[in-house]
Amino acid sequence: MVQLKSPRELETMAAGGKIMFAAHEAVRAAVRPGASTLDLDRVCENFIRSHEGATPSFKGLYGFPASICASINEEIVHGIPSAKRVLREGDIISVDIGVFFGGMHTDSARTWPVGPVDADTERLLRVTETSLEAGIEACVIGNHIGDIGAAIEGVVLKGRLTVVRELVGHGVGFQMHEEPQVPNHGKPKRGMKLVPGLTLAIEPMVNLGTAATRTLSDKWTVVTADGKRSAHFEHTVAITEQGPRVLTR
Question: Which residues in this chain contact Mg ion in the complex, by CB under 5 A?
Answer: 96, 107, 109, 201, 203, 234
Closest separation in Å from C-beta 116 to Mg ion: 27
Q: CA torsion sign, 99 to 17 to 238 to 189?
A: negative
Q: Which is nearer to Mg ion, 120 or 181 (CB)?
A: 181
Alpha-carbon distances of 210 from 81, 92, 244, rounded to whole Å: 25, 18, 31
φ/ψ (deg, to 5) at 78: 70, 20
Query: Is the omega angle on the peptide bond into residue 188 within 30 degrees of 0, that is, cis?
Result: no
Q: Closer CB to Mg ion, residue 91 or residue 203?
A: 203
What is the nearest approach in angstroms of Mg ion to the Cβ of residue 236?
8
Please name which of 143, 174, 197 lies closest in space to residue 135, comparing C-alpha atoms.
143
Residue 61 or residue 141: which is nearer to Mg ion going by CB? 61
**Most distant CA pair in the chain: distance in Å?**
48
* Between 18 and 86, CB nearer to Mg ion: 18
Q: Which residues pair with 243 in a beta bridge?
A: 240
CA distances from 29 to 52, 72, 86, 114 (A): 22, 17, 16, 11
Q: How far is the CB of 167 from Mg ion (least distance, A)?
A: 9
Nearest-approach distance from CB 218 to Mg ion, in angstroms: 18
In angstroms, what is the minimal distance from the CB of 20 to Mg ion? Answer: 10
Q: What is the DSSP letter of 61?
A: G
Which is nearer to Mg ion, 75 or 203 (by Cβ)? Answer: 203
